[in-house]
Amino acid sequence: MNNLHSGLLYSLTGVTALASMSSCASQKKTEEQKPFNIVYIMTDDHTAQMMSCYDKRYMETPNLDRIANDGVRFTNSFVANSLSGPSRACMITGKHSCANKFYDNTTCVFDSSQQTFPKLLQKAGYQTALVGKWHLESLPTGFNYWEIVPGQGDYYNPRFITMQNDTIEKQGYLTNLITDMSIDWMENQRDKDKPFCILIHHKAIHRNWLPELKYLNEYEDKTFTMPDNFYDDYEGRPAAAAQEMSIFKDMDIMYDTKMLDMNKDSRLKSAYLNFIGRLTPEERKQYDDFYAPIIKEFYQKNPQGKELADWKFQRYMRDYAKVVKTLDDNVGRVLDYLKEKNLLDNTLVVYTSDQGFYMGEHGWFDKRFMYEESMRTPLIMRLPKGFDRKGDITEMVQNIDYAPTFLELAGVPVPEDIHGVSLLPLLKGEHPQNWRNALYYHFYEYPAEHMVKRHYGVRTDRYKLIHFYNDIDMWELYDLQSDPMEMHNLYGQAEYEPVVKELKEELLKLQEQYNDPVRFSPDRDKE
């Protein structure tokens, strides 16, 4: 699996010499001999249910579909820890959280002296850039250019942190600005004699789903169908019952669904007022004019029970879809730019998210759980010339695989301590016999917002075994073939004992392989 470069246009020996290559020599190279560029677009909380190339039920995403139609769609793409910071640390290091040490959003600061793929690319002569959400607390390293949003970022007239560590403000909608800055770097700022890798990392579609003003009216006539398990009772799944991410119970009426009540105060109301307080007076008027009749009708009707649940679900789906729409436009802008500049043949374009998201499945928004909707993440790629693979790739892949993929594509040797596996053989159309048959997952952020308990687990093609631990000791087993919505915990049923035994062995093997100190203890399990 390591001899990946046969048939590629650029050889391993060629690119490692890149750092020392003079610009004169590089000018002599023909267009085909240039090393590949990497345009890595990542959004926040964008789930496959809301991309028409994965799921036709809810909305159209024509530009994302362009990537999938011209290239490949991974149908089994997963994260290792379904939360922003940890997921970003996994992808940039190619290692699980136990190795990169960024376990959660709330207590960790990324050790920026550690090995990352942008640093290795830069060392090999690539121009590297990062624009948008970073969320790793320490300032970025390994980039020729970066400009990031503070923390979660602002949708409207947002703040940015510059390379001088200054905080500046820009006028506009964040998704558009991130694209403007990225295109500007590709067009005007980078050294065009060198290959480049740009990380275009959006805040969209993160909570609280504030749309670009021109799309406020979109999807307002649309009624979204609730998932069948919206009214899940969590029977046999106490950790699922204990969460605080229910659309009905936990989604805030002002902060999330924007129904301002001037007679009530709350922390979330103030936070919301701060967000929309960033709009100019003219913009704010447009915003308020849109919401005024909806707010009036809501408080007049004062829906309760299932009526309220459905009302909140519809508002959530509409806002989320509006934010995706601007995002999709901006992916189109990047593709058009690359096409116009004849860069497509020589560039790998990747679109993914930091994790999946619940669109009402189990009654939820947010992520965190190892259940399918949040452990999955969309992954589509437009491949450079020389890679013939098209259509679906069904092998199980994980966000720790991006780093080795980019390195291998650039001809940079993949360090042995990287946990992920290069996806290049899959992109070349190979079906490696020894491809992984099990994925490891570990979520740590508890106690914390949304109250999803700590858990680790293993997922194979057919089964998923999860162990919730810390203030609980509870196993769950799902047969994904007969129960894709993960409603029936089979753990403890006699006929599944052999499956559980095998999965526990696999789990321990992975925990040992990745050297995770928090691991399942088979001896204790036998007691």
Task: Please report whether residue 84 would count as binding ligand SGN according to CB under 6 A.
Answer: yes
What are the phi and psi torsion angles at 523 (to 5°)?
Answer: -65, -45
In the list Ca ion, ligand SGN, none, the entry touching 318 (Cβ below 5 to 8 angstroms by class) is none
Q: Applying CB under 5 A, which of residues 84, 116, 144, 422 lies at the interface with Ca ion?
A: 84
Contacts of 54-60 spanning 24+ positions with Cβ under 8 A: 54/378, 57/225, 58/224, 58/317, 58/321, 58/359, 59/219, 59/321, 59/324, 59/325
Task: Please report whether residue 258 would count as binding ligand SGN according to CB under 6 A.
Answer: no
> Site residues for ligand SGN, window 426-485 (CB under 6 A)?
449-450
- Token pair of 451 as six digits: 């109250």
Decide whether 138 or 394 has the Cβ nearer to ligand SGN. Answer: 138
Q: Applying CB under 6 A, which of residues 49, 105, 175, 346 lies at the interface with ligand SGN?
A: 105
Interface with ligand SGN: number of residues (CB under 6 A) = 13
Q: How many CB atoms are located within 10 Å of the residue 385 CB?
A: 13
Q: In whole angstroms, what is the distance from residue 86 CA to residue 443 CA?
A: 9
- Sheet containing 455-459: which strands, arranged edge to edge? 439-443, 455-459, 463-468, 474-479
Residue where the block lists tokens 């928090």: 518
Contact map string, positions 24 to 53, toward ligand SGN, x by CB under 6 A: --------------------xx--------
Q: In whole angstroms, what is the distance from residue 524 CA to residue 360 CA?
A: 37
Helix (H, G, I), strand (E, B) or coil at 119: helix
Task: Please report whether residue 251 would count as binding ligand SGN according to CB under 6 A.
Answer: no
Task: Please report whether residue 44 would count as binding Ca ion according to CB under 5 A.
Answer: yes
Q: Applying CB under 6 A, which of residues 366, 395, 408, 476 lies at the interface with ligand SGN?
A: 366
Decide whether 255 or 463 has the Cβ nearer to Ca ion. Answer: 255
Task: Please report whether residue 206 would count as binding ligand SGN according to CB under 6 A.
Answer: yes
Q: How many CB atoms are located within 10 Å of the residue 468 CB?
A: 25
Contact map string, positions 123 to 162, toward ligand SGN, x by CB under 6 A: -----------------------------x----------
Task: Please report whether residue 399 would count as binding ligand SGN according to CB under 6 A.
Answer: no
Task: Please report whether residue 207 would count as binding ligand SGN according to CB under 6 A.
Answer: yes
Decide whether 194 or 206 has the Cβ nearer to ligand SGN. Answer: 206
Cα 490 → chain centroid: 29
Task: Please report whether residue 88 would count as binding ligand SGN according to CB under 6 A.
Answer: no
List the beta strands (DSSP E) in 254-327.
Answer: none
Q: How many CB atoms are located within 10 Å of the residue 82 CB?
A: 29
In the list Ca ion, ligand SGN, none, the entry touching 314 (Cβ below 5 to 8 angstroms by class) is none
Decide whether 250 or 479 has the Cβ nearer to ligand SGN. Answer: 250
Q: In whole angstroms, what is the distance from residue 238 CA to residue 235 CA?
A: 7
Task: Please report whether residue 83 would count as binding ligand SGN according to CB under 6 A.
Answer: yes
Rounded CA Rg of the chain: 23
Q: In whole angstroms, what is the distance from residue 103 CA to residue 122 CA?
A: 26
- Token pair of 24 as six digits: 């004169």
Q: Applying CB under 6 A, which of residues 208, 352, 377, 489 lies at the interface with ligand SGN?
A: 208
> Site residues for Ca ion, window 305-364 (CB under 5 A)?
354
Least distance from ligand SGN to the Cβ atom of residue 443, Å: 11
User: Which residues of the shown chain bind Ca ion in the complex (CB under 5 A)?
Assistant: 44-45, 84, 354
User: Which residues of the shown chain bind ligand SGN in the complex (CB under 6 A)?
Assistant: 44-45, 83-84, 105, 152, 206-208, 354, 366, 449-450
